[in-house]
Amino acid sequence: MNDLGLTWMPASSVYDLAMNTGLQEASEDTGGLVLTGTAGSTYRFLVHAARMRDQWGIDLDLGLIRAGMIAMSLSAGHHSFHEVMRGAQLALDAVPGHDPALDYQDNWGRYWNIHPLTEQELRAHVARDGLFLDEHARALLDVT
């Protein structure tokens, strides 16, 4: 904190991740983009939300909370989609009986399933020209 109040800077403006790290190398194989590392803030938000839901009976939608973390992290340049989803998956793995529709598919088709959003919603409101990134890449390579 300083004279301006509470200051915050996105991790991408503070940290660099070396290209030879295990996370970077593994992510490269699956098409995951890496900026600063797995999103610990997403992990903490989801773990605490799951605990509040379970202990206090609060109706919290972990998928919507994760979607909010994606929106905040990407727009602020804090973490990449892949990093947020990795953090979320680590939290979900610790939640007994979590909805398997929330599981992260760490592959080239990662953008097709971001529950609770449907594929149609993602194509209409997120995907450029209604196509996901892997579809654009295949079109450039002329691979089907």
Instruction: Quote the pTM value.
Output: 0.84
The residues, any chain, with a CB within 8 Å of residue 121's CB and separated by 6 or more, are none
User: What is the signed CA dihedral for 79, 83, 84, 85, rounded to 10 degrees?
Assistant: 160
pLDDT tens string 8-49: 666 666 666 666 766 767 777 788 888 888 999 999 999 999
Q: Residue 114's closest CA among 34, 123, 72, 40?
A: 123
Determine the pLDDT at residue 46.
97
Determine contact, residues 39/79, Cβ cutoff 8 Å. yes
Share of the chain above pLDDT 90, in %: 61
Predicted pLDDT of residue 29: 79
